[in-house]
Structures are given as C-alpha cells and as structure tokens.
A and B are shown apart, each in its own frame.
Chain A
Amino acid sequence: MEKKGYLSEIKSNTGLNVNRCYQCGKCSAGCAVAEEMDYPPSRLMRMLQTNNKENYGKILASETIWLCVSCQNCLTRCPMEIDIPRLMDYLRERAIKEKTINKKSKNILSFHKAFLDSVKYTGRLYEIGLVADYKMRTFHVLQDMAIAPKMFAKGKLPIIPENVKDKKQLHTIFKSSH
C-alpha cells in the first residue's frame, strides 16, 4: 500500500468516498448475508474509515467480501447512496492481487474462476464442464451428485457445449481486460 493510504486508492478506482458513511446501520440491517459475515457491511465501512493498514488487511482477508452476493439491498437503502456492492467488487479484486483470500472462501473463488474459464474457452457457460471443473479445483466430487441425474433426465444439462464462433474477438476481450 502506498503512503497516501488505501482510501485515495479506493476513491480513484471506484469513485467512492467511504467517509460519507455515517454509520446508520441500514445496510447491515437489510443485508441478506450479514449474519454469516465476519464484518457486516456497516462495520466494514467503519473499519475502512480508520484508514488504518491493519484494518484494511483484515478486510482483504475477510469472509465478508466473498459472502456478499451483490444483492444491492444495502445500496438501495443507504441514505448516502454509497455503492457498497461496487466496493465489494473492488475489495475482491484487491484480495486476489494481494493474495489474501480468506481460507473459508476459496470455494467461492474457485467457482467464479471455473465459470469464467468456461466463458473464456467457449464464449458461453457450459454447465457440466463448469461443475466438473469446480469439483477438480475443490475436490468436492460428490457434491450435487444427487441432483445431477434428475437434471439430466429433465433435459436441463445439455451434453455438448455451445460455442461462440468469433473466438478471436472473445480472446481479445479477455486479453484486454487484464
């Protein structure tokens, strides 16, 4: 982290000024997963406001940033219209860069990665491939075995992946987005 502190970095990357939060708590009250989080959203805001490196480290290693489902309820209800979901996106990107990913949340990250890889190679999501890839990454081989045959029988799992034809354009998108 550079000298100016992380607050200006957050500001320049997301346009958000975390100091506008006045701790009313509405975000945490409406957050679908607050009970599961180590720091509910309003607490996370307060920790960020301290501009204290140690607190920032805790946030980047927290379960909170991975548990946020981007439901947007907090933003909707925040009297200061603070875009917490956008902030969460940014914090996750930081945590990946800093390699401080919360241990309990590695599954969530593996799933997102498997998802994006599927899109990268075929241009579309290939569900059987996604789940297989996810299982390889997490060793959760048996999970979902119970519903897979039923999904298959109901024609919900096509066996052949669909492909985007213009692969070149797709690769350019992935390449230029890094």
Chain B
Amino acid sequence: MNIGFYPGCSLKGTSSEYAQSTLALAKFFDIHFTEIRDWNCCGATAAHNLNHELSVALPARILALAEQQGLMEIVVPCAACYNRLSVTQYALNKDLVLKDRLSDTLQMPLSGNIRILNVMQFIEKYIAGRIEEKISKPFAHKVVCYYGCLLVRPYNILRFDRLEDPQSMDALMQKIGATALDWAYKTECCGAGFSVSRTDVVAKLSGKIVKDAEDREAEAIIVACPMCQSNLDMRRPHIDSYLHTKTHIPVMYITQAIGLAVGIKREELGLKKLFVAPAFVD
C-alpha cells in the first residue's frame, strides 16, 4: 500500500496540530504515508483570485510529482488544497489542450487519474472499519460537525457528500460515541481567506457559526479544514467582540476527536495548540 501524502502549507505552519493528529492516527492504524517530494503550495484562494492559469498550474505540478513518484492515491487533509487539487484535475481532464500545455511547461507527464482523498474519505476507506474495536475511551460528547465550503462545493466536481446536509463526518463522530447534533451552519462559509485582510467579515461569518453551535449546547465544533479551524478558533477574540459575549466552545479536528477515542496520547494529537482549550480533555 503506497499512499501519498500532501500536507500543504497550513499543515506545516498554523495548523501543525492537524498534520500531527492525522499522522498519529495513520500510525496508530499501521498506515504508512509517503510525503510527495518537493511539493509546492497549491496557490489557494490567492491564485484563482488573481491568475487563473497559475491556479491550475501550481496544483498540476503537485499532481505530476505524485505521479512521477508512483503515488496514484494521495491523502490531502487540508480542505482548501483538496479542493484546488480536485478542481485542477477535473479541469485538466476536461480541457486536453490545457493538460498538454501544462505538461509541456512542467516537462512531466500528467495522467489526470490520481485518486485524491480528503480526510473523511481517507478515514472511511482505511480506518472506519477498525475504529470501533479500538475505542478505549468513547468520545461521549455532543458535537456539531462543520464541513464549510471547500469539502462539498462545487458538487459536480467533488461529488463527495450531500450538498446542503452532508453526513460523513456526523457518521464518523457517532462511531466514536459522540452525539452529532442537527444545526444550521454545516456548510456556511466562515470567511475563509479573509482572516487577515478583512477580519471584520470573518468575525461576522464565523460568529454566526459559533453562536449557533453554542445555542444548541454543543461541546465542540468538529472540523476538517485548517482555514475553518483557524478562523473559528484563533479569531475568537474578534468573534466574541462581534457577538458581544464570551464564547467557550472549542474547535477540534476530526482526527483529534478520533485520536482521543482510540486512546492516542494527547501530546501526539497537538491538543495544546488549540487556542480555545477543550474543557473536557483533562
């Protein structure tokens, strides 16, 4: 089993706990990842905002590197990277002129058939069947699962889960003993890439999400995207001042929640890196 791994920039910096917990989970279940060598940034929001060609060229290099290294399946935990890589592969397969041109620029072949897995797809495929037997401490908490934009849209390309009311994360949470509550903000936008340039917009959009979660008395918001996590967690002072109240709900990665349930050590899950500490983790 040769599974490729694309961490992307966030996981090497601001969201290192996401990388840490994903790798810890994989190790716990005896899954070996091969990091794509010499990978570059996917270009994220900036590239497709400013330069369309670049927004496909950067992800294309990553796909080409994976292919060159014999990695036909890659796990991409960051939802933004997952989105860019998937959208690019779709565009390449639809537009063969573009594919040839980029393959030329890169001087590398681009087959266009790499399997790109987001974190839920990875867990479902390789871990889900073995989770229950490994649970040592059920994650018996009320949670809301927050999917955001990038895992579910655009549907015609990603085809990952239900659009308005996705279920995959909810199902995994139930598997580890959590109660996944119904709520209204599963796929609403958190303000994404505006964290620095328009913090006011992030405070408002993320504020509504945090408020609904607290109103429903959830104990944690579970996420699978570093942008969502940092907006909802690190921007909490701005959110609180927008809401005129002090909120306490922590925002955890799905990999951290599952890790806790199967008994992985807290340090290995990077729980200390969360700004809003989960009160129920001793």
Contacts and interface: CB of A to CB of B under 8 A. Distances in A.
How extensive is the interface on chain B, given as a class? 35 or more
A165 interface: yes
B45 A156 contact: no
B9 A73 contact: no
Interface string B123-160: 00000000000000000000000000100011100000
Given A36-B201, A119-B58, A69 B47 contact: no
Given A32-B205, A90-B52, A124-B40, 13 more contacts: A36-B201, A69-B45, A75-B154, A76-B154, A92-B49, A111-B196, A116-B46, A116-B47, A119-B47, A125-B44, A155-B273, A162-B12, A164-B39
Contacts of B46: 111-113, 115-116, 119
B57 A173 contact: yes
Interface string B196-209: 11110100010000
Interface stretch (B112-120, B174-182, B184-192, B244-252): B184-192
Given A70-B49, A124-B12, A127-B14, A76 B61 contact: no
B50 A176 contact: no
Nearest to A118: B41
Contacts of B192: 69-71
The B interface is mostly helix, strand or loop, or mixed, namely helix
A177 interface: yes
Interface in A96-129: 96, 107-113, 115-116, 118-119, 123-127
B122 interface: no
Interface residues of A, number: 57
Given A76-B153, A89-B49, A173-B106, A156 B13 contact: yes
Contacts of B15: 156
B263 interface: no
Given A69-B189, A112-B46, A164 B198 contact: no
A154 interface: yes
A58 B137 CA distance: 59
Interface string A145-173: 01100110011111000101110011011
